[in-house]
Chains A and B, each alone.
Chain A
Amino acid sequence: MTTLDMTGKACPIPVIETKRLLAASAPGTSVEVVVDNPTAVENLAKFAEQRGYTFSRGEQAPGAFRVVLTSGDADTTAPAASGPRRTVVAVSSRTMGEGDERLGATLLKGFLYALTEAPAWPEVVLFYNGGAHLTTEGSESLEDLRKLEAGGVEVLTCGTCLNHYGLSEKLAVGGVTNMYTIVETMLAASHVVKP
């Protein structure tokens, strides 16, 4: 096993050198790293956790903390095979379709009601931009959305949007989400329904 002596090296050098060595080595390679401070040990542990590497602490003498990192086997990042059908409904405004706003609001309310009556429910309903008005106090769809939520449908509203419309304290159904989760949810969907 290779030993990297990183004593006297300030962060981030120990992690960067370890990263370089493992990147240039075959999968499953182990490297012992010696650092002179506990913060460097924590940074190496964090690095191993993020990369899915095995991490173990060896001898911890003052001024010489020994740790071992082992890179993962190859092919752990293969994309998942096509999974089961996963439907996501994305509500991006307070109306359904463009045209008369009052009509659009009535249509969207009707869509969410009809969704509760549909034979198969989506896994997730996302609300963003003007859609944030549907999950907050004053919405006429709260009862329908609560029914979906009680049935296991995840109801999520964009936090940035709630904030923008001053609705942060008025969320009445479901949870709050961010753009990372919205992107992840949409990418993982087998199809996305936009009313």
Chain B
Amino acid sequence: MDADAGRVVPHDAAPLFCSGGGCTAKLGPRALSAVLAKLPRPTDENLLVGFDSSDDAAVIRLTDDLAVVHTLDFFPPVVADPYTFGRIAAANALSDVWAMGGRVSTALNIVAFPEDGDLNQLGTILAGGSERVAAAGASLAGGHSITGDGVLYGLSVTGTVHPGRLWRNDTPRPGDALVLTKPLGVGIACAAHRLDAAPAGVYEAAVESMVELNLRAAELLADADVHAVTDVTGFGLAGHLLEMLGEHHSAVVDTLTLPLLPGVKHLAEEFFLTAAAQRNRAHAEAHGTRFDHVPFGVQEVLFDAQTSGGLLVALPRADADAYVAALAAERAASGNALPVAIIGTIAARAADAILVR
């Protein structure tokens, strides 16, 4: 439960310089796969998930009923408020464990901070991160800090999972419904906010979404026949969906049901678009993403890099209906207005990897 997710905790730390951080700072998928392809592959047979499958976290089996989930994530400030930045960075880093079906255990801070920087600012970032780690039920157990030209913050998170109940990101089945648990458009909203062009409420809605933990969205999947899960971050919905589909599946995405932050379609039409989104578009279009009469502004939302985005889940339709109803009801009961929706379906590989209509 995350009823106070949008709250602002008073502090006197100075605002952070923020030029387009968060997951927009992620290297493009094309650049990344070229580099990773050159590394030797690990051979430990207990390594259930490594980087060859582009999954959210690494998973190593310790015993037949216990595996450890490792992940780390850090980035430059995505918002100017240091406390909020800390919360967002932590919510984003923790999410990878939940996207694997795991429970979070411990987290370690990763920090770069200017040598002559204001330590009150750093303390406020760490307080924000610590608040989210505690809300996730994990223990903040240390970290590593270096001096750097700019601010970077994130977490290395360790969790556990039963090896038989691991959710991979690339194993959907034809006929599955696709569920998205947070609205899209935080990259567009933040870009417009930085240029003082976001209408009232748009940025606040983006922050509310980014600080929301994916904890309950994952826990409520416990009884469902889950086939594939990932979280939507820097590669945008289209990029992460392409990873899920691999070579053997296709998806149809329905723009009518796609949850969007308020105002972002219009802001996209006004070109508050990041470089990351353009890299994501180039990658997705080169890998078979086609739009059937979808307006430009909505197209861009599918490529928008999300920081601390929602879970993208492939599961049978009946399970998806029950899951969406349960998550929506729980959120409504705690005054949380974040949308969750079935956004499309999985099919066997067709001409297009992703058809958006």
**Which of A's residues lie within 8 Å of B, judged by CB?**
10-13, 15-16, 19, 37, 39-40, 42-43, 46-47, 50, 159-160, 163, 166, 168, 176-181, 184
B191 located at the interface, meaning its Cβ lies under 8 Å from any Cβ of chain A in the complex: yes
Nearest CB on A from B278, distance (A): 5
* Pairs A-B, 10 closest by C-beta atoms: A11-B275, A39-B275, A178-B357, A181-B293, A160-B256, A15-B271, A10-B20, A39-B278, A179-B256, A43-B278
Q: B278 near A46 (CB under 8 angstroms)?
A: yes
Q: B254 near A12 (CB under 8 angstroms)?
A: no
B192 (CB) vs chain A CBs: closest residue: A12
Nearest CB on A from B45, distance (A): 39
Nearest CB on A from B234, distance (A): 14
B-side interface residues, number (CB < 8 Å): 29
Residues in chain B near residue A10, CB distance under 8 A:
19-20, 274-275
How far, in angstroms, from A50 to B281 measured CA to CA in the complex?
Answer: 15
Most central of B270, B272, B296, B357 by chain A CB within 10 Å:
B357
Residues in chain B near residue A19, CB distance under 8 A:
270-271
Q: A180 near B294 (CB under 8 angstroms)?
A: yes
How far, in angstroms, from A10 to B292 measured CA to CA in the complex?
Answer: 31
B295 located at the interface, meaning its Cβ lies under 8 Å from any Cβ of chain A in the complex: yes
How far, in angstroms, from A43 to B275 measured CA to CA in the complex?
Answer: 8
How far, in angstroms, from A57 to B197 measured CA to CA in the complex?
Answer: 29
How would you classify the secondary structure of chain A's contact residues: helix, strand, loop or mixed?
helix
* With A160-B256, A178-B292: A16-B195 Cβ-Cβ less than 8 Å: yes
* With A39-B278, A50-B296, A178-B293: A159-B357 Cβ-Cβ less than 8 Å: yes
Q: A12 near B345 (CB under 8 angstroms)?
A: no
Residues in chain A near residue B345, CB distance under 8 A:
163, 168
Total A-B contacts with CB atoms under 8 angstroms apart: 77
B252 located at the interface, meaning its Cβ lies under 8 Å from any Cβ of chain A in the complex: yes
Q: A176 near B357 (CB under 8 angstroms)?
A: yes
A11 (CB) vs chain B CBs: closest residue: B275
Residues in chain B near residue A178, CB distance under 8 A:
254-256, 292-294, 357
Pairs across A and B, CB under 8 Å, 26 listed: A10-B20, A10-B274, A12-B191, A12-B274, A16-B195, A16-B197, A16-B272, A19-B270, A42-B282, A43-B273, A43-B275, A43-B278, A46-B273, A159-B252, A159-B254, A159-B256, A160-B254, A168-B252, A177-B293, A178-B254, A178-B255, A178-B256, A178-B293, A179-B256, A180-B294, A181-B293
B46 located at the interface, meaning its Cβ lies under 8 Å from any Cβ of chain A in the complex: no
Nearest CB on B from A54, distance (A): 17
Most central of B255, B274, B293, B295 by chain A CB within 10 Å:
B293
Contact residues of B between 7 and 31, Cβ < 8 Å to A: 19-20
Residues in chain B near residue A39, CB distance under 8 A:
275, 278-279
B257 located at the interface, meaning its Cβ lies under 8 Å from any Cβ of chain A in the complex: yes
B195 (CB) vs chain A CBs: closest residue: A16
B298 (CB) vs chain A CBs: closest residue: A180
Nearest CB on A from B163, distance (A): 34
Nearest CB on B from A18, distance (A): 9
How far, in angstroms, from A177 to B252 measured CA to CA in the complex?
Answer: 12
B317 located at the interface, meaning its Cβ lies under 8 Å from any Cβ of chain A in the complex: yes
How far, in angstroms, from A168 to B20 measured CA to CA in the complex?
Answer: 40
